[in-house]
């Protein structure tokens, strides 16, 4: 491994690789994009003219100058590519969802431990502006004990697109796509639920995989009980619900809009741009004052910071900090996603512990 700079090899240059991984990791001091495995070298070189492009994963893994392999392939390839990279002695970052199921996740976690390599999952939504702010709101205690949390990822995409994410193939569908984010955020805030129930559906004309879900997580024991968490995502919301709604024993917090980093990356922005991650939409905090009156104030939203994820990966590899998304957390999330699919199939709530 290089003594001063870690070199990353990116597998795949589709939407995830081009939009999220290449520009974000390249903004981290001490981490550079060393090579890309892609069948579209012209596409890579249009963005990164000096970066080497190799034809396949095997060619990338043979390179001794690559320290970290980033897996940004279609979901069905996450497990085999990550397994090959770990076997080759590389550190690995896998885009979410980690794998197709919890069994694959456990296999990779065990392999990473045997190989003594860092294995992490790109849960970038932990570094969203609104989520960072929400964590601070809950930690402040102003809301009292949270009793109800609602998290929405509503979009308006009425036309079914010709892409693998919307085809009936392993790893497709909204639950593993956006559910990976919403469930992970809920677990980060409140821990593993006691009970999970998922309703999912195919609502758009011509859709082939689920494009709607509504999950209810019940916390009936532990420090957050009693608590209800609602996670909701749809592709047919012309008027989106608030991103977050939290009700507590002393007040409420509401945040509208979504983190701006994805839209900025889609538009060709880079994390080195001025005011990166700034969210102009304030939240609203309503609390009960000492005199019993309800008081509402605007609460500025912190800046989002996807770069912090890869900076933490860099530090974990060189032994200077913890893995930002360690394998045990990734395995737990896949267990809950598996449980959600089972719940939707059986049409009932299922124990999650």
**Considering the domain boundaries, does residue 41 fall inside one?**
yes
**Considering the domain boundaries, does residue 83 fall inside one?**
yes
* Residue-number span of the structural domain to which 73 is assigned: 6-123+309-324
Task: Kindly state whether residues 74 and 111 are assigned to the same domain.
Answer: yes
Q: Give residue 3's pLDDT.
A: 52
Mean pLDDT over each residue of the chain, to the nearest integer: 96
**Considering the domain boundaries, does residue 331 fall inside one?**
no
Alpha-carbon torsion angle 177, 179, 182, 183, nearest 10: -130
Q: How many domains does the chain have?
A: 2
Q: What average pLDDT does range 266-273 have in this prediction?
A: 96
d(CA 202, CA 211): 5
Q: Give residue 298's pLDDT.
A: 97
Task: Kindly state whether residues 261 and 153 are assigned to the same domain.
Answer: yes
Q: What is the pLDDT of residues 119-148, one digit of tens each?
A: 999 999 999 999 999 999 999 999 999 999
**Considering the domain boundaries, does residue 173 fall inside one?**
yes
Task: Kindly state whether residues 278 and 295 are assigned to the same domain.
Answer: yes
Task: Kindly state whether residues 270 and 148 are assigned to the same domain.
Answer: yes
Q: What is the pLDDT of residues 147-191, one digit of tens each?
A: 999 999 999 999 999 898 999 999 999 999 999 999 999 999 999
**Considering the domain boundaries, does residue 162 fall inside one?**
yes
Ranges of beta strands (E only) in the chain are: 6-11, 31-37, 52-54, 68-71, 91-95, 119-122, 146-154, 195-201, 212-219, 227-234, 244-248, 251-255, 283-288, 294-299, 350-351
Query: Would strands 251-255 and 283-288 be described as parallel, antiparallel, or unpaired?
Result: antiparallel
Q: What average pLDDT does range 189-195 have in this prediction?
A: 98
Q: What is the pTM for the complete model shown?
A: 0.96
Q: Give residue 291's pLDDT.
A: 86
**Which CATH number do you get for residue 169?**
3.30.360.10
């Amino acid at each position: 491994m290089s003594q001063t700079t870690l070199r990353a090899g990116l597998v795949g240059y589709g939407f995830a690789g081009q939009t999220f991984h290449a520009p974000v990791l390249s903004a981290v001091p001490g981490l550079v994009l060393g090579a890309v495995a892609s069948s579209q070298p012209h596409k890579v070189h249009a963005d990164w003219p000096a970066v080497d492009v190799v034809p396949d994963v095997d060619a990338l893994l043979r390179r001794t100058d690559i320290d970290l392999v980033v897996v940004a392939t279609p979901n069905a390839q996450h497990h085999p590519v990550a397994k090959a990279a770990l076997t080759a002695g590389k550190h690995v970052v896998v885009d979410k969802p980690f794998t197709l199921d919890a069994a694959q996740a456990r296999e990779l976690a065990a392999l990473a431990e045997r190989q003594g390599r860092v294995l992490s999952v790109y849960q970038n939504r932990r570094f969203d502006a609104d989520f960072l702010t929400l964590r601070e709101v809950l930690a402040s205690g102003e809301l009292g004990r949270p009793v109800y949390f609602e998290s929405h990822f509503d979009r308006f995409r009425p036309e079914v697109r010709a892409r693998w994410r919307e085809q009936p193939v392993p790893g497709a569908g909204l639950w593993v796509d956006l559910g990976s984010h919403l469930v992970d955020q809920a677990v980060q805030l409140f821990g593993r639920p006691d009970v999970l129930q998922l309703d999912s559906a195919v609502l758009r004309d011509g859709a082939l995989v689920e494009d709607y879900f509504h999950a209810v997580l019940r916390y009936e024991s532990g420090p957050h009980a009693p608590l209800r968490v609602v996670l909701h995502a749809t592709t047919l919301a012309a008027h989106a619900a608030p991103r977050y709604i939290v009700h507590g024993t002393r007040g409420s917090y509401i945040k509208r809009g979504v983190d701006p980093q994805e839209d900025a990356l889609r538009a060709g922005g880079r994390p080195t741009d001025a005011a990166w991650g700034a969210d102009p939409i304030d939240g609203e905090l309503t609390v009960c004052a000492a005199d019993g009156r309800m008081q509402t104030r605007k609460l500025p939203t912190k800046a989002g910071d996807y770069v912090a994820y890869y900076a933490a990966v860099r530090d974990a590899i060189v032994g200077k900090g913890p893995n930002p998304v360690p394998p045990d957390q990734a395995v737990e999330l896949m267990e809950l996603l598996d449980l959600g699919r089972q719940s939707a199939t059986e049409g009932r709530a299922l124990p999650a512990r």
